[in-house]
Chains A and B, each alone.
Chain A
């Protein structure tokens, strides 16, 4: 086992406080240490119907989910391998009746746990039980700063009010809070208010993440794609707030890569420092990886250990390193910096996950896709295709009309 972990390098000690952030930097030798943190998607079930849902288009049904005992076994195995943190996510992780039991087991085997939640199913008692079970951090997604926009995006009545309530309980229980704000054309005008909302909620951290367009979100790209003017304004707002709120609220900012010249270093590079486990137990290099057809992913239900899957499975090794790269990546001086961008996006937009991510200006498809996005953002076609197990529901005109009335009245 030791050689599979050899890639984990400890950063040298930092300045005054004798603290360094442990980074998963890699030596040139291609060894891949077990990640420090693993994302556990314990279910795909979710009461929200967000049009930008990042789960794959084919959802795992409740009946295929790992059982309580199977998840416990996974948690024990992860701890033994040297994983230090787990993120309970979904879908909506609290849709599982055994979520407290799973968090308790994570604590028992020495894992630090984080809950990534829509919050709408939580009661104060449940949250308190989770804290008692050892939960150490709560991340709540917000769709806007007020019910009108937020509940419409979530496709769920009363969701926003519920989220605010749970955020308050989180701080009352002295748990650190991160506000996750997923941004797009139809809520970017609320960003300044969302930042203030995070401050008012006494959050420690705010994630301002622009929608990433693969999986379900791609179906709604025309309704979600921000304009260039919005993006410029967003960057200005975030930079200003980062300075103003230093020491009060940490703000992480994920730029929309459609408007970038260089692609994002997606997942820190395929199979280099991240994996997640799907509701049915598939071990994946990225939570959207199942959108890439033609790749076979191994399951924790197979005869293989998680360590073996991470190190040896075909899916993880397919796009590891730089050997798989075509031009223009192959000879690019940045190939070790961004690893060719995002495989899922390359697949979604070019049909081949082995192509350069079109977000990169060097991709032959970049200009075409960029122009298309600009056209879409300008068209102001705002109707959502909601995400659900029914295969999606188109927003009714009625709902749109109401929204329009509200806006006119406001």
Chain B
């Protein structure tokens, strides 16, 4: 059963669960997350992070990638990404890949 209480760390390999769908809404020209009874509007940074959540990449890899792209300190990005993903996980919109390789 999908755990609702995952703890996001550097080694987590998060992905969106089946019931949370990231999609570009052509009509309103915004990114949305479709969830039960709700439509969420992630900001640009959230969209960028969520697109990296494929259940394969670890949070650490994601921070690495973003640090290179934005020429920003990895540690600061890692802290922000973990906080954002944890919040999303607490709301039930993030899960972890099945096979735990960590």
Q: A residues engaging B (CB < 8 A)?
A: 5, 8, 10-11, 13, 16-22, 34, 36-37, 81-82, 84-85, 110, 112, 114, 131, 136-137, 171-172, 174-176, 178, 202, 204-205, 247-248
Q: What B residues does A176 contact at CB under 8 A?
A: 19, 36, 92
Q: Is the CB of A8 within 8 A of B36?
A: no
Q: Is the CB of A178 within 8 A of B37?
A: yes
Q: What B residues does A112 contact at CB under 8 A?
A: 21, 34
Q: Is the CB of A175 within 8 A of B37?
A: no
Taking the closest CB of chain B, its distance from the CB of A36, in whole angstroms, is: 5
**How many chain B residues touch the partner (CB < 8 A)?**
33
Chosen A-B contacts, 28 in total, with CB atoms closer than 8 Å, are A5-B27, A5-B28, A8-B27, A8-B28, A16-B84, A16-B87, A17-B88, A18-B43, A18-B45, A18-B84, A19-B42, A19-B46, A20-B43, A21-B39, A21-B40, A36-B39, A82-B25, A82-B27, A84-B32, A84-B39, A110-B23, A112-B21, A136-B19, A137-B36, A174-B17, A174-B18, A202-B1, A204-B92
C-alpha spacing A81/B46, complex, angstroms = 26
Contact of B99 with A by CB under 8 A: no
Of B17, B18, B33, B83, which is in contact with the most chain A CB atoms at under 10 Å from its CB?
B18
Q: Is the CB of A20 within 8 A of B41?
A: yes
A5-B28, A10-B28 known; 20 new pairs, CB 8 Å cut-off, are: A8-B28, A13-B43, A18-B42, A18-B46, A19-B33, A19-B40, A19-B43, A19-B88, A34-B27, A36-B39, A84-B25, A85-B34, A112-B21, A136-B36, A137-B19, A172-B1, A176-B92, A202-B1, A204-B4, A247-B90
C-alpha spacing A18/B91, complex, angstroms = 13
Q: Is the CB of B1 within 8 A of A10?
A: no
Taking the closest CB of chain B, its distance from the CB of A354, in whole angstroms, is: 31
